[in-house]
Amino acid sequence: MAARTLSYLLSRSRSLSSSSGAASLLPSLGGKSGGWRNSNNRYSTAAVVEELITPQVSINYTQHLINGKFVDAASGKTFPAYDPRTGDVIAHVAEGDAEDVNRAVAAARKAFDEGPWPRMTAYERSRILLRFADLVEKHNDEIAALETWNNGKPYEQAAKAEVPTFVRLFRYYAGWADKIHGLTVPADGNYHVQTLHEPIGVAGQIIPWNFPLLMFAWKVGPALACGNTIVLKTAEQTPLTALVVAKLLHEAGLPPGVLNIVSGYGPTAGAPLASHMDVDKLAFTGSTDTGKVVLGLAAKSNLKPVTLELGGKSPFIVCEDADVDKAVELAHFALFFNQGQCCCAGSRTFVHERVYDEFLEKSKKRALRRVVGDPFKKGVEQGPQIDTEQFEKILRYIKSGIESNATLECGGDRLGSKGFYVQPTVFSNVQDDMLIAQDEIFGPVQTIFKFKEIDEVIRRANSTRYGLAAGVFTQNLATANTLMRALRAGTVWINCFDVFDAAIPFGGYKMSGIGREKGIYSLHNYLQVKAVVTPLKNPAWL
C-alpha cells in the first residue's frame, strides 16, 4: 500500500485506541458468553449480535473473461462466493477447468502474436492504463463495497486505503511503460552491441484472497506496462472485484485477449495454468506449500520462469529504548491489520526484558479495545476471517498455543455464533519451538517473546524458514543499522510497518519467495533481454 494510505490507517487506529470513548464504538453485545479463559479468568467476551448493513452494490459479473467477452465455463459449472460476515452465498461464479484455461491462453497467445498491444507505442499503452486508473477512481466506493462484501475487510480500509493504492499502482506502471529500454554496450573489437528489453509473452498469474485488488495491481500493472498479455486466475474465495475492474480496463481501451480472467480452484484451474506449455511466465502469490507445487509444475512443463511471493513469520523487535506506547500501537497494527491475514504480518513480537511487562500489559489492553464487527460499520477495525477453513485453522493454532503452555492473555475463541469472527488474541511466554511461533497462523493472534541481547534476538528472529519482512522499533541509530543488515528478510521497516509504496520492492528471502514485486524490480519479471551484435566497418570511434 502507499505510504499515505497506510499512515491514514495507523493514525485512525491510534485515535480509536487512545479515545476515552473507544468502548462506545463496540457493537452491541449479547447472547452466550464465550472465549477461552486463562487460569486467572481475566478475559471473556460475549457473542456479537448486530444488524448487518446491506452493501449498496450489485454483483454484475460472475463469468470468465476470455478474449474481451464474459463467457460461461466450458463445463457450465459454477461455484459459490460467500459473505464472510454470515457464511451466506452472495453469487455463483463460473468454475474454470483445463478447457477454460486453454481457451484463455489461446486468446492471450493470439493477442500477443497478432494483436496490437505489444506493437502499439509504449505511450499509447501508458494512456490506456491512465484512463483505467481514472475509471477505477471514479468507481472507488462501489469497488470497495464489493471487496468488503466478498472479503470481509473493513470498508473504510478498502475505500480509503486499498482502492486509492490500486489507482496509484496503475498510474505508477503507466509512467514506466514508455521508459523501458535497453543499453548500448561497449565490447572488445569492431562491434556495435545493444540490448533490447522485450515483453516475455503470455503471463500466467495466480493471486490470493487476502488483498484481491492490490494483488491484481501488483501482477497486472507491470505485465501490461511491458507489453505482455495475461491469463489471471483469481482466488476461489474472492473472484468478484477482479472481474469488475477488468471490465473497466476494457472500457479504457484495452484490446480483447490482452487480459483474460478464469475463476476456479487451484487443482482444476491453477494447476493447468501453471503447467501450460504456451504460458511463457508464471507469477504466484500464496502459501509456501502451494508455491512449491506451482514451481514444480512450471519446471515439469516448459521450464517457464516463475516469481513467487509466499508465506512469512515476520519478527517485530521492540528494543529497550523504545517508546512503549508507540511500540504497542505499531506492533498491534503490524499483527492485526487485515484480520491478521497478511503474509508479512509482524507475527513474532520480540520485546526486550526491561520493557516486556509494561509492553505486555498495554498490548493486552489494546487488543481488548479492538473494535470487531460488521466491516461495513464505521469505526470497526476488524471484520471476519475469509472463510470457515481459515477460521477453524486459526482456532486450532490457538488451542495448540494453550496446550503448549503459552499464556493466553486475552481472546482465544470465536466471536459470535454466525460468520467467521475470531477474538483478538494475545499470547505471552511464547517459546521459539512452539507451533504458534513457527507456523504462519494468518489470523488475529499476537505472540509475544522476551529477549535480552541484540545478538540473541538476531539469531532467534532469523531462525525460521521464512524471510519476508521484519520490523524494528528503536531510537538508537546504531541498533537500527545493526538490525537492518543482520535480519534476513526482504523488507525491514524501522519505526514503521506495512509501508507499501508503489516504488518500494517487495519479496522474500529463503522460503518466502523468489523475485520481487512492485517498483522497477517487478518490470524485470516480465521482460526478456536480447543482445544484438553488429560488425562495424571503419568506425569513427568505439
Same-domain pairing of 197 and 91: yes
Residue 322 maps to a domain: yes
- Are 158 and 121 contained in the same domain? yes
285 and 411 inside one domain: no
Inside any domain, residue 473:
yes
118, 199 in Cβ contact below 8 A? Answer: yes
pLDDT tens for the chain, 542 residues: list them: 445 445 545 455 444 444 333 222 222 222 322 333 333 333 334 345 478 999 999 999 999 999 999 999 999 999 999 999 999 999 999 999 999 999 999 999 999 999 999 999 999 999 999 999 999 999 999 999 999 999 999 999 999 999 999 999 999 999 999 999 999 999 999 999 999 999 999 999 999 999 999 999 999 999 999 999 999 999 999 999 999 999 999 999 999 999 999 999 999 999 999 999 999 999 999 999 999 999 999 999 999 999 999 999 999 999 999 999 999 999 999 999 999 999 999 999 999 999 999 999 999 999 999 999 999 999 999 999 999 999 999 999 999 999 999 999 999 999 998 999 999 999 999 999 999 999 999 999 999 999 999 999 999 999 999 999 999 999 999 999 999 999 999 999 999 999 999 999 999 999 999 999 999 999 999 999 999 999 999 999 88
168 located within any domain: yes
Q: From its phi and psi, is residue 538 left (phi > 0), alpha (psi between -120 and 50) or beta? A: left
Residue 2, pLDDT score: 47
Query: Are 247 and 295 in a shared domain?
Result: yes
Same domain, 297 and 369: no
H or E, element range at 137: helix 122-138
CA 6 to the chain's CA centroid: 14
Query: Are 237 and 321 contained in the same domain?
Result: no
Q: Do residue 352 and residue 302 come from a single domain?
A: no
Are 396 and 304 contained in the same domain?
no
Residue with cell 521459539: 432
CATH code of the domain in which 321 resides: 3.40.309.10
What confidence score (pLDDT) does residue 9 get?
A: 56
For residue 542, the model assigns a pLDDT of 83
- Asked if the structure places residue 49 within a domain, the reply is no
The Cα 3–Cα 526 span in angstroms is 25
Q: Which residues contact 501 (CB under 8 A, 6 or more apart)?
A: 1, 2, 3, 518
First to last CA, the chain: 46
Domain, as residue range, for 176: 64-310+517-528
Judge if 321 and 303 occupy the same domain: no
Helix (H, G, I), strand (E, B) or coil at 274: helix
Task: Note the pLDDT of residue 48.
Answer: 52
306 and 323 fall within a common domain:
no
Choose among 266, 202, 256: nearest CA to 234: 266
In a domain, 205, yes or no: yes
Could you say which of 147, 156, 309, 329 is catalytic?
Answer: 309
> Active site includes 162?
no
| pLDDT at 206 (0 to 100) | 98
Whether 26 is covered by a domain: the verdict is no
What CATH number is given to the structural domain containing 289?
3.40.605.10
Residue 213's contacts (CB-CB under 8 Å, 6 or more residues apart) are: 143, 147, 158, 162, 163, 166, 241, 242, 245
Burial (CB < 10 A; 0-12, 13-18, 19+), residue 405, is exposed
Same domain for 291 and 341, yes or no, is no
In a domain, 71, yes or no: yes
One domain, residues 129 and 256 = yes
- Total tally of structural domains belonging to the chain: 2
Nearest to 208 by CA among 290, 275, 279: 290
Q: How far apart are CA 421 and CA 373, in angstroms?
A: 8
Residue with cell 505510504: 3
Residue 299 included in any domain: yes
